[in-house]
Amino acid sequence: MAYIFNMPDVGEGMAEGEIVAWDVKVGDQVNEEDTLVEIQNDKSVEEITSPVTGTVTKLYYEEGDLAMVGEPLIAFEGEGLEDNEAEAAPASTPESPAQEEKAEDPAPASNGGGSYYKFRLPDVGEGMAEGEIVSWLVSEGDTITEEDSLVEIQNDKSVEEVASPVAGTVKKILVEAGTIANVGDVLAEIDSPEHNGEDDGAEDTSTPSQPAQEAKADEGNDDATGSAASAPATADPNRVIQAMPSVRKYARDKGVDISLVNGTGKNGQITRDDIDNFDPSAQAEGSQEASQQPAPAKEEKAAKKSPAPAPTVSNEDLVERVKISPMRRIISESMTTSKFTAPQVSLFMDVEVSKLWDHRKKFKGIAAERDVKLTFLPYVVKALVAAVKKYPMLNASIDEENREYILKKYYNVGIATDTDNGLFVPNIKNANQKSMFEIANEINEKAARAHAGELTNEEMGDGTITISNIGSAGGEFFTPILNFPEVAILGFGAIKQEPVVNDEGELAVGRVLKLSLTFDHRIVDGAVGQRCLNEVARLLSEPELLLMEG
């Protein structure tokens, strides 16, 4: 019987993994728990073992291929194996049924007869996608007239009152104050005899759907340049139309597709004058011009994440092409995600650390007696933990889906480690609970494991803040990139002898450390970041304070 083993999730929520090496081939007899394949996930190379005993009949991927989690990876045959071939089919197989199901979904504009008028959240700002319900100005059961204020909405810049497009009785408020609603969401139902069954904005979002599909089908046709083909292309099927029912009726009577009309009223509301002034031919010309304009910001952001075009090489004989390793590709993707997700700010500071230098020199021999290599890094770990205890926003992450900050009361400090195989970030778990010597030992042990490629996901996962040591390579100031989703990273530069002014106001030679702090400006303000950096500097300049801070 054919048993198919699907690609497992070998990382924290990974979606795909690269086949680094197969440890079996077709025809091999394997036992349960035998190693089948090595998979590169986001952080390390993991060995995948066999869940069954049997004979390998098929390998679905070659080395170097990307395998999606849940897709067939390897097939077996053997006595007692359950035939799961149908169940293990690729996730893409049910495409046709999914399309049929989608086709059977009712159109969103269809409300059915007898239903109340649906009042939807309009766009009350410049292209806003959502707004917060600040307060309702009416209650269920209230009688309202057209243009009465219904609700206060917080957009990106201000609080706006939104008026009722119809007269009637408020039957149901569907979204409570304090809730975030997306543009187009139904906020309330109004019993308006003249307009019951209508859906604010839905009528117009469905109107251009067929022409839009036809326009898409004709894409690339050089003859499709007339206004009939170009005008519908400007209709956004997701746009919520702001117009009173009387204006909608006026547009229908005049044969104007209101979804193509730009509103000049408050918050982009369409008025009768807009209908009267609408010029279909001008709109068609506008659509042709619009097709040549740059993509919107959202599309531009997505485009930035797309692979760059291949560079032009003038002389192939004088270049060497090296395949990007799985780890380097993952580092690239992680850095890109970090830069395009978090607005990052970096601060820099010189710190006179002669006392730190002497302190390490004093205890270096004692550490060696305990087989501990004492560097400056453990001091930085202790100082950073003490600082973020005072400024917890830097030991946090952002839950964008629930719009919450996650302030972490544990301190897992990542140590960026440069190896021949790429950059790894093992972290010191619960660094606040460990001694200087314990931290030093753990840093050295994990660095050795990183160089040997032996780090586990557990050793690299659940970090809360990171330290990057460019000083070991002779660097000074730099702008470290966040180890996303962390919101802060401390750059540790070289310690060099430089002229300084001492406490007596005299010029002297001191030992100066360069510190760089990068943070996510969505959660950490500049002043908070600077105060945290000041605290790190204070503790490193007076290392005995680290004992007081614990």
- pLDDT confidence tier of residue 160, bands split at 50, 70 and 90: confident
Residue 251 pLDDT: 83
Residue 225 pLDDT: 39
Specify the DSSP class assigned to residue 129.
Answer: S
Least confident interval from 19-28, 425-434, 450-459: 450-459
Percent of the chain scoring above 70 in pLDDT? 76
- Residue 180's beta-bridge partner residues? 132
Q: How many residues does the chain have?
A: 550
Question: Alpha carbon of 142 to those of 136, 169, 347: distances in Å?
Answer: 12, 6, 55
**Torsions phi, psi for 422 (to 5 deg):** 125, -170
pTM of the model: 0.55
* C-alpha dihedral, 489 to 494 to 499 to 505, nearest 10°: 40
Residue 125 pLDDT: 57
Residue 206 structure tokens: 């469905």
Whole-angstrom Cα distance, residue 72 to residue 90?
6
Whole-angstrom Cα distance, residue 261 to residue 231?
11
Identity of the amino acid at 51: P
> DSSP of 11-26, one letter per residue?
SSS-SEEEEEEES--T
Of residues 57 and 265, more confidence is placed in 57
Q: Over the stretch 223-255, which tens digit does the pLDDT of each residue have?
A: 433 333 333 335 555 566 676 656 777 788 888
- Judged against a pLDDT cut of 60, whether residue 444 lies above it is answered with yes
Mean pLDDT of the chain: 80
Residue 235 pLDDT: 55
Question: Alpha carbon of 514 to those of 377, 391, 405, 423, 511: distances in Å?
Answer: 13, 21, 30, 22, 10
**For the ranges 75-84, 161-170, 270-279, the one whose mean pLDDT is highest:** 161-170
Of residues 214 and 361, more confidence is placed in 361
Task: Go through 58-93 and write b for each residue having 16 or more CB atoms within 10 A of its CB, e for each that does not.
Answer: ebbbeeeeebbbebbbbbbebeebeeeeeebeeeee
Specify the DSSP class assigned to residue 270.
Answer: B
Report angle CA 462, 466, 471 to the nearest 5 degrees.
Answer: 150
Give the pairing type, strands 465-469 and 488-501: parallel
- Judged against a pLDDT cut of 50, whether residue 170 lies above it is answered with yes
Residue 479 structure tokens: 């702008």
- Judged against a pLDDT cut of 70, whether residue 209 lies above it is answered with no
- pLDDT confidence tier of residue 326, bands split at 50, 70 and 90: low
Residue 157 pLDDT: 59
Report angle CA 314, 320, 321 to the nearest 5 degrees.
Answer: 95
**3-state percent helix, strand, coil for the chain, nearest multiple of 5:** 30, 25, 45
Q: What element of type H or E holds 292? A: none
Residue 87 structure tokens: 């169940």
CATH of domain 117-286: 2.40.50.100
Residue of 382, 414, 391 lying closest to 484 (CA atoms): 414
Q: Helix, strand, or coil here: 278?
A: coil
- Judged against a pLDDT cut of 80, whether residue 107 lies above it is answered with no
Residue 442 structure tokens: 């753990």
CATH class of domain segment(s) 2-96: mainly beta
User: Domain locations in the chain?
Assistant: 2-96, 117-286, 343-549
**Torsions phi, psi for 131 (to 5 deg):** -155, 155
Mean pLDDT, residues 512-539 taken together: 96
Mean pLDDT, residues 294-305 taken together: 44
Residue identified by tokens 């531009």 is 300
Whole-angstrom Cα distance, residue 128 to residue 523?
21
Q: What element of type H or E holds 95? A: helix 95-104
Residue identified by tokens 């007898």 is 114
Residue 246 pLDDT: 65
- pLDDT confidence tier of residue 196, bands split at 50, 70 and 90: confident
Residue 314 pLDDT: 76
- Judged against a pLDDT cut of 80, whether residue 437 lies above it is answered with yes
- Judged against a pLDDT cut of 60, whether residue 113 lies above it is answered with no
Mean pLDDT, residues 321-333 taken together: 78
Residue 67 pLDDT: 84
List, by residue number, the catalytic residues. Answer: 521
Whole-angstrom Cα distance, residue 383 to residue 549?
9
Same CATH topology for 2-96 and 343-549? no
Residue 271 pLDDT: 82
Whole-angstrom Cα distance, residue 192 to residue 530?
57
Q: In what order do the strands lie in the sheet with 186-191?
A: 117-120, 186-191, 168-173, 143-144
Whether 495 and 475 have beta carbons less than 8 Å apart is answered as no
Least confident interval from 134-143, 245-254, 366-375, 534-543: 245-254
Domain 343-549 has CATH 3.30.559.10: yes
- pLDDT confidence tier of residue 151, bands split at 50, 70 and 90: very high
Identity of the amino acid at 98: A
Specify the DSSP class assigned to residue 44.
Answer: S
